[in-house]
Amino acid sequence: MICGSVLILCGCGAEPVDVPAAEGPALVEVEPVEVDDVAPSFPEGALLLAEAPGGLDDEPRAVTLRWEEATDDVGVHHYDVLVDGASVATVEVPAAETEIEGVTFEEARTFVLRAVDEAGNASPDLTTSDALTPAFPEGAQLQAQVSGRHVTLRWPAAIDDVAVTAYSLQRGEDELASLEPTARSHRLPLSESEGTLTLVAMDDAGHKRELQGVGVAVELATARVNQMVLGALGDNGALNDVFRAGAVTGNSEDMLRQARGIGVATSAGGLAERGGGSGGGSGLGALNSRSLGGIASSRSTAAVPNRARGRVQIGALERVPGPAEFSVAVVSRQLRRRVRAVQNCYERELRVNPTLQGRVSVHFTILPTGNVTSARAQSNSTGSPAVASCVVNTVRRLRFNPAPVGGNAMFTCPFDFAPQP
């Protein structure tokens, strides 16, 4: 069998001629077309964080949105941003933050983020309806009422675009109590009220609003002084013991009635008669917890306890080169939220040294988990190790969400301290 040719015989003895067969059509090899049908995705547990100033009203304002970067098998092309279902912005990668202008909040608004790849595949939505920080009524204060050895703190309800989920009562950096969102008061021992008390309203998005009481520190300090004075004058007090040695009675009221050169201080700065002055009565007269509180809290005549005031300024944040991508604006915002705690670090030492001032520069590292590690004072011109140590510990307690992507992020932040006139 002969394949692929035709054998022609021409007469006897003629040699056969081999004629090639006709060729068929040429075969062209075609590359297979790859179809991208895999949508981008966000990391597990990723959140869309929204933040806007102000409260529930019809005033337009800017809303800042932040998120963790999405990933894709080919590559994320852009992010779509929607407000209440309407597209409002397209954000190019690798950005993980944007600002939406002109949003009003007569009621809560719903913000949506989608990651989209080149093929048009869209990720599942990241959604939040909580953009506003809880707000207390205008002029609201943390009120304190002292009774015996306890103080009761009261406050009005804070409002939020979604809901206030908890209150935290804090003394400096220490949390004294975590309270339900329905709480409007809290009672604690007077001995635990030393320092500046702050009530913090929180929502589920991590927004926080602080409420402090004007004059609360003075009221509580006055109450502690009253306790010491009345304790000394009581039947078992130290002053009673001194008098008892030469007195015919063990009752402190009788002893003061007999004593010469002792009067009852008045709010005008003078002395009332020992028989009780204009208030009537005898012996101790107006010298009781009520009158002492009124005298000590009189703004015109009382000596206010030493309350040093300091000013704290956060300098330019310096990003140290490293593998991670992380927004300086996110770090600056978180540091500003903790400036009150940094101020407390300074003011505690300012009471001891009223001329204390200078700069503390803190170097710190943010892990991909959002936790801070390796915080240390890079420089300290205040001359106070206590201030530097306290500031470093405050920075170390920071938590970031979103967190760095791709590794650790390192920063250096200067804090400038000066007394207020």
Residue-level pLDDT at 285: 40
CATH code given to domain 49-128: 2.60.40.10
Measured between alpha carbons, how far is 317 from 363 in angstroms, rounded to an integer?
A: 10
Residue-level pLDDT at 63: 94
| Token representation of residue 346 | 């300074």
Name 25's Cβ contacts closer than 8 Å, sequence gap at least 6.
none
Measured between alpha carbons, how far is 356 from 234 in angstroms, rounded to an integer?
A: 41
Residue-level pLDDT at 71: 93
> Quick one: which H or E segment has residue 276?
none
CATH code given to domain 310-419: 3.30.1150
Residue-level pLDDT at 227: 60
Residue-level pLDDT at 54: 81
- Tell me the three state secondary structure of residue 292: helix
Residue-level pLDDT at 20: 63
Asked, colleague to colleague, whether 49-128 and 310-419 share their fold, the answer is no
Measured between alpha carbons, how far is 259 from 257 in angstroms, rounded to an integer?
A: 6
Half-sphere CA count of 239, side-chain side, radius 13 A = 14
Burial 380-399 (b: 16+ CB within 10 A, else e): bebebeebbebbbebbeebe
Residue-level pLDDT at 44: 82
Task: Work out the number of other CB atoms within 10 angstroms of the CB of residue 78.
Answer: 16
Write the burial class of residue 336 (CB in 10 Å: 0-12 exposed, 13-18 middle, 19+ buried).
exposed
User: Could you please report the per-residue DSSP string of 373-398?
Assistant: EEEEEEEE-SS-HHHHHHHHHHHHT-
Residue-level pLDDT at 281: 39
Q: Where are the domains of the chain?
A: 49-128, 143-207, 220-296, 310-419
Give pLDDT tens digits along the chain (421 positions).
445 554 555 555 556 656 566 666 677 777 777 788 999 999 887 889 899 888 888 889 999 999 989 999 999 999 999 999 999 999 999 999 999 999 999 888 999 999 999 999 999 999 999 999 899 988 888 988 888 888 899 999 999 989 998 898 888 777 788 889 999 999 988 877 777 888 999 888 878 889 976 556 666 666 666 665 555 554 444 444 444 444 444 444 444 454 444 444 444 444 444 444 444 433 344 444 333 333 333 333 333 345 578 889 999 999 888 878 888 888 988 898 888 889 988 998 998 899 999 999 999 999 888 888 788 999 999 999 999 999 998 898 888 888 888 888 999 999 999 998 7
| Token representation of residue 167 | 């209150």
Residue-level pLDDT at 35: 86
Q: CA-CA distances (angstroms) from residue 96 to 49, 71, 320, 322?
A: 11, 12, 19, 18
Homologous superfamily assigned to 143-207:
Immunoglobulins (2.60.40.10)
Which amino acid does the sequence have at 36?
D
Measured between alpha carbons, how far is 319 from 250 in angstroms, rounded to an integer?
A: 71
Residue-level pLDDT at 400: 87
- Tell me the three state secondary structure of residue 254: helix
Name 296's Cβ contacts closer than 8 Å, sequence gap at least 6.
222, 225, 226, 302
Residue-level pLDDT at 301: 37
